[in-house]
Amino acid sequence: MHNTLLTIITFIVVFGILVIVHEFGHFYFAKKSGILVREFSIGMGPKLIAFRKNHTSYTLRLLPVGGYVRMAGAQEDDGDALQAGVMVNIQLNENLVTRINASQKQTLFQGVPFQIVNFDLTDGLWLEGYENGDESALKRLNVDHDATIIEHDGTEVQIAPRDVQFQSAKLWQRALVNFAGPMNNFILAIVVFAIIGLMQTGGIPSNSTKIGTVMENSVAQKAGLQKGDEITKINGKVVKDWSALSTTLQSDPGKQVTLTYKHGTTTNTIKVTPKVITTQGQKVGQIGITAAVDKSIGGRLMYGLTGTWTMVTNIWHALANLFTGGFNLNKLGGPVAIFANTEQAAKMGLASTLFFMAFLSVNLGIVNLLPIPALDGGKLLLNVLEAIRRKPLPESAENAVQIAGFLFLILLMIAVTFNDVYRYFIK
């Protein structure tokens, strides 16, 4: 029971931090670009807590499985809660509508009943209808540019005039807003890896190709490699860092490779065959060496960059293998897999949990940059097409692309989730 509770708390905290950091990137640059952020939500589903500040509603929702930044006019903005024929309550200030209540969950102090006949909250900023049930006099009321509307679930957001909508921002600003979420995930990973580096008083793995330890009875020891040797080439190709070294060796399990290395002032060449081991269902090569350790403060801080870069290259190779090595759902993981791995990280302590957070953050950043519609990368691709065409895609075409991408992601997530449940709890 204690371990389950710890896992749940760790999962919520880690996932919450990732979502907040990602969405804050979109939020910050949208604000700087003059785009109205109508809502910043942590979590999904029914609203638990809400407050408004500086034209934005901040909400905490029941399900801790994501979040969103709702920008005026963007695809995430599901529009206003008004339609012809509905009865709302309005607040007036000198004959100017300042608040519109379309919810049954709230009442407006001194609110005036108003039946909507027609409205324009985008360009003209007006409401047309019958006040106090008097259908003998059709009234048109002007709406304040910064008026708010209380939606059906009780969330109060600002209306979305065209000048503060997403599409009204310049192209480079919209592209920056789309890129900012993944960018923040990479920044978070750098910070977390730097913290991990400082926590490791015994030092952190150097990203050089110098050997720190050689395991007993390993392929490397039998080939004559020693601590302090520096591997410079694999099969004649120069390797500049440990990430490239380990990736190359892991990709050739059971296949003989030629290593060129420096031992003191001499350069030697040997042939080794990486041992085949299976990790997380994948066969990789291993010769039994670890990187040299850097104990300096500067080196441990630099682990923020080197650790992130290593993680980026590893995840990128894993993504490439997803397609070149044959598609397999076991190579993917959804919320169930994340929860299962959170349990292992939480048991192993703070450093492991931080490492897992950094891994997820890099993962989230890379996956969101894939050119798949409905992801940030898909939106950036549309920005590139707009720059080439010098005009945006027709709204109908853009919506169709986004819907297709969204449906693809939903179907993929369902398949991955069922597969994860089978892997971790049934198999």
**326 domain-assigned:** yes
Listed in sequence order, the residues at least 6 apart from 331 whose beta carbon sits closer than 8 Å to its beta carbon are 281, 282, 318, 321, 322
Same domain, yes or no: 252 and 337: no
Same domain, yes or no: 301 and 392: yes
- The residue from 291, 309, 325 where one domain ends is 291
**78 domain-assigned:** no
Tokens linked to 190: 């750098």
pLDDT over threshold 60, residue 328: no
**409 domain-assigned:** yes
pLDDT attached to residue 186: 95
Same domain, yes or no: 310 and 285: no
Listed in sequence order, the residues at least 6 apart from 239 whose beta carbon sits closer than 8 Å to its beta carbon are 209, 231, 232, 233, 245, 248
Same domain, yes or no: 132 and 91: yes
Residues 306, 301: Cα–Cα separation, whole Å: 9
For the residues 281-293, what does the mean pLDDT come to? 81
**179 domain-assigned:** yes
Confidence class for position 273, pLDDT limits 50, 70, 90: confident
Confidence class for position 144, pLDDT limits 50, 70, 90: very high
Rounded to a whole number of angstroms, the CA Rg of the chain reads 28
For the residues 221-232, what does the mean pLDDT come to? 88
Higher pLDDT, 123 or 247: 123
The answer to whether residues 209 and 242 touch, using CB atoms and an 8 Å cutoff, is: yes
pLDDT attached to residue 225: 87
pLDDT attached to residue 140: 92
pLDDT over threshold 80, residue 331: no
**239 domain-assigned:** yes
Q: Measured in Å, how far apart are the chain's first and last C-alpha atoms?
A: 22
Residues 352, 49: Cα–Cα separation, whole Å: 32
Residues annotated as catalytic (active site), given as ranges = 23
Higher pLDDT, 331 or 168: 168
pLDDT over threshold 70, residue 332: no
Residues 78, 41: Cα–Cα separation, whole Å: 14
pLDDT over threshold 60, residue 427: no
pLDDT attached to residue 209: 86
Strands 138-150 and 96-101: parallel
The answer to whether residues 91 and 98 touch, using CB atoms and an 8 Å cutoff, is: yes
pLDDT attached to residue 317: 72
Same domain, yes or no: 255 and 385: no
Lowest average pLDDT, out of 179-183, 188-192, 271-275, 334-338, goes to 334-338
Q: Please count the other Cβ atoms lying within 10 Å of the Cβ belonging to residue 120.
A: 13
For the residues 387-416, what does the mean pLDDT come to? 71
pLDDT attached to residue 426: 57
Same domain, yes or no: 308 and 353: yes
| Closest by Cα among 288, 292, 295, 291 to 273 | 288
pLDDT attached to residue 208: 82
pLDDT over threshold 60, residue 340: no
Residue 145 sits in which domain range?
Answer: 87-156
Same domain, yes or no: 284 and 337: no
For the residues 36-59, what does the mean pLDDT come to? 91
Note the pTM of the prediction, 2 decimals.
Answer: 0.76
pLDDT attached to residue 98: 92
Looking at the DSSP bridge assignments, the partners of residue 270 are 259
Whole-number percent of the chain with pLDDT over 90: 26
| Closest by Cα among 299, 302, 255 to 275 | 255
Confidence class for position 418, pLDDT limits 50, 70, 90: low
Same domain, yes or no: 322 and 410: yes
For the residues 72-85, what does the mean pLDDT come to? 75
- The residue from 121, 156, 191 where one domain ends is 156
pLDDT attached to residue 21: 94
**72 domain-assigned:** no
**269 domain-assigned:** yes
Tokens linked to 99: 């608040």
pLDDT attached to residue 330: 52
pLDDT attached to residue 182: 93
Same domain, yes or no: 330 and 420: yes
| Closest by Cα among 129, 116, 128, 111 to 87 | 116
pLDDT in tens, 86-117: 888 989 988 899 999 988 877 888 888 989 99
Lowest average pLDDT, out of 164-168, 310-314, 384-388, goes to 310-314
Residues 143, 40: Cα–Cα separation, whole Å: 24
Same domain, yes or no: 287 and 303: no
Residues 341, 363: Cα–Cα separation, whole Å: 14
Phi, psi at 209, each rounded to 5°: -100, 20
Same domain, yes or no: 247 and 363: no
Confidence class for position 416, pLDDT limits 50, 70, 90: low
- The residue from 262, 291, 320 where one domain ends is 291
Same domain, yes or no: 274 and 383: no
CATH code assigned at 268: 2.30.42.10
Lowest average pLDDT, out of 22-26, 199-203, 232-236, 257-261, goes to 199-203
pLDDT attached to residue 333: 53
Buried b (16+ CB within 10 A) or exposed e, 80-94: bbbeeeeebbbbbee
pLDDT attached to residue 396: 72
Residues 148, 81: Cα–Cα separation, whole Å: 11
**377 domain-assigned:** yes
| Total structural domains within the chain | 3
